[in-house]
Structure formats: structure tokens, C-alpha cells
Copies of this chain bind each other. A is one copy, B any other.
Amino acid sequence: MALIVQKYGGTSVGSIEKIMAVAKKVIELSKKGDRLLVVLSAMAGQTDALINLSRQITEIPDPRELDVLMSTGEQVSISLFALAVKSLGYNCCSLLGFQASICTDQTYGKARIKQIYTDRIMEELEKNSIVTIAGFQGIDEGKNITTLGRGGSDTTAVALAAALKADVCEIYTDVEGVYSADPNLCANAKKLDKISYDEMLEFASLGAKVLDVRSVEFAKKFNVPIHVRSSFTENGGTMVVAESKEMEKILVSGVVSDKNEARITILKIPDKPGIAFAIFDPIFRANIVVDMIIQNTSADGITDLTFTVPKPDFQKTMGLVKDIAKKIGASDVIGDEDIAKVSIIGLGMRNHAGIAYKMFQTLAKENINISLISTSEIKISCIIKEKYTELAIRALHDSFGLGNEK
């Protein structure tokens, strides 16, 4: 008898019909004798509708009260799901964050799960009930409702799987798994049967929207096997698991692209200690997330510094940086929104030279200029002009032989 945690995203429970379909699917599984814990997101569109309500009041909503509002979305899904299961004649019990004792810190809107007390969940499971739990929400020490941020339901599911020592955490979504490339770009993109947590972290950070980064970090920490799969087929998806020897044989698992960044370069900065801090301090204070940062070796005591920020923060950051540039005596600031990041990911890179060489060669062959490069042990990212994104992805996918046989 296995204990399975399943998580269904907003599109999987986006209508009463879809909720009924998930209920039937879960019941079929439970008939086989497995114990099931079902984590749900808010019905598709619901979260945006609630945000829209709050925006009609204020653009800067109080974070505590916004969480009280937002958490109703998942409350509606789990109660409807439980009604559906019970209407079909099976036991079901819904639990909200405070009932399932999903204890978090007090960072409203982006809370971190600190502890889950599983007594109540176990009690309900032992009644042979299907237990459904609101994703995305928790409770702090003062009994205040917190939410975990976008994608938080993935984290709820993985954290529950860890706390309950579940056999697997299945993440149901609208795609069939993690692919060697976006199937919309590469017709022969291959579904990956198995990847490591670290690769999944890179996929998630670099723009593949399959799993929330924090949930993967959590899974890695507690060694929870994740199965990413589709709600709409019975096909197996992608297993995200601890690294194994044979995984290193695969040099490159996939290529991903991200058009959501913009580049900013500060020219001719006097190269003195404390300059990087002076530049980034006001940007961090404005809660802007800086991704790549590259500083050239100093020549004659002056240097250039380039970094990327999310596109929606571009104008704001340019404003801040122009002020700083003046203060520190830099000559100019140039920005470019017309960029994209293409990355290749693979555990095997660690032990094999030549992967970067092949990547640069492939892009060069297509006459695509690289304006920034950043690497980690298991990924290489290049910033290129946005219009070349699809071309670059297809060329890299082909040259590394990632697709299915044609």
C-alpha cells in the first residue's frame, strides 16, 4: 500500500467538469488500495480574479490581508473536490493550511514552510478517506494565514510528501513532463524519463514553467521523488530524482529559452573597492532580482559592468542605475530589452570539456552573436538578440542530438 501525494494545477481543476474528472481519477487509484493526498491549486483564473478585486481598492495591498483574500481560491477548489468525491460515494476530507498544520514563517505572500504536523492528516487517512489539502497556503505562529507565492502549491505538495514520507509526489500539469526543448519550438522534442534535482532546478530557473524552483529545492533536500505528468493522459511523465551514476552519461538533457530579461551595461566605471555594492545596493532595496552579472577585467583602472533584470523591472532599474552612474563617475549606461537567454543543461557537462565549445560553434554557424555568457557546473547560458531565440533553440537541439529520431 503506497502513500501518494498528488498535486493538480489550476488548469486541471479549471471547471466543475474538470474537478469531477480529477475526482473520478483519484477514486480509481484509491480503489487499488493506495492512500491518496490531493493538493489543489485555485481554479484557473481565480487567482487573477482575486488580485483584480484587490487592485480595485489599492495598488499596494497590505500583504497580510492580501493573503487572507488569495487563500480563498484554494479553499473553493478543495471543498468542491471533496463535494465531488463524496457525491460519488467515497470518503473525502478537505483540510486548509491551518487544519493541516502547515506552519510557515510570517513572510506574507512568499512564506516558507517551516514544519508540518501530520497528526490530523494521518487521522483522516486512517479513516480510509481521500484527503485534499489547499495548496499555496499555510499558517504562521500567530494563527495568521500566509501564502507561499506563485507556484506555491508545488511546494505544498512536496513538503507534504516529505513530512509524510510518501512514496512519490505526483505533479499533474497541462504538459506531459519535462522535454528536451519546448515542443512548440522543436517538433521532435523528447520527453525526458528521468532527470536529477539539480537539472530540474536549472530547467525551472531558466524558464521551463513545469515546476516551481522552491519545490525542487525542497524535494532535493528531503529526497522526495517527483513525478511530473499530465492530468489529461495516462502516460508516464518525467521522474525528478536524486542523481545516479548513469545520469552523468548524458551530456546535455535539454535546451531552454527565456525572453523575460533585459540587459543593462554601465560603461567606464572607475574600478575601486565598493563599486559593485554601490551599484547593486539600491537595486536590491527596490526588490529587483538581478540574474546574470558580468564585469570585465579592469584595464587602466576602469571597467564595464553588465547585468540582466526581469523585463518588467527594466525602466525602473535604468532610472536607478543612471543616478548611480553619475555618482560613481561612470561614463554612460546603455540598456537593451531586445534580448533572450538560451541555455543548455546537463549533468554530464561536469566531466566533459567541449560542450561550451560546441554551443558557441553552433550559434556562430547560424550567425548569432553572443553578448553575454554565464555558466554553472551543469548549465551554460548565452544572451542573444531576441529575434534569434527560436533559431538558436532548434540549432542547439539538433547539434546536441536531443530530439527523437525523425
Contacts and interface: CB of A to CB of B under 8 A. Distances in A.
Nearest to A98: B98
Given A58-B87, A75-B72, A53 B80 contact: yes
Contact of A98 (B72, B78, B143): B143
Interface in A52-75: 53-54, 56-58, 60-62, 64-66, 68-69, 71-72, 75
A20 interface: yes
Contacts of A84: 57-58
Interface string A73-100: 0011011101110110000111010110
A72 B43 CA distance: 14
A348 to B, nearest CB: 49
A145 to B, nearest CB: 8
Contacts of A68: 75, 78-79, 82, 94, 96
Interface in A10-29: 16, 19-20
A164 B16 CA distance: 42
A326 interface: no
A120 interface: yes
A60 B170 CA distance: 31
B61 A87 contact: yes
Contact of A82 (B62, B76, B80, B120): B62
B62 A80 contact: no
Copies held by the complex: 2
A62 B83 contact: yes
Given A65-B94, A68-B78, A99-B143, A20 B83 contact: no
B80 A54 contact: yes
A86 to B, nearest CB: 4
A23 to B, nearest CB: 9
Interface string A35-61: 000000000000000100110111011
Contacts of A94: 65, 68
Contacts of A19: 57
Given A53-B16, A143-B120, A79 B96 contact: no
A57 B143 contact: no
Interface of A: 16, 19-20, 50, 53-54, 56-58, 60-62, 64-66, 68-69, 71-72, 75-76, 78-80, 82-84, 86-87, 92-94, 96, 98-99, 120, 143-145
Pairs A-B, 9 closest by C-beta atoms: A58-B87, A69-B79, A68-B79, A65-B82, A72-B72, A62-B86, A16-B56, A65-B83, A65-B79
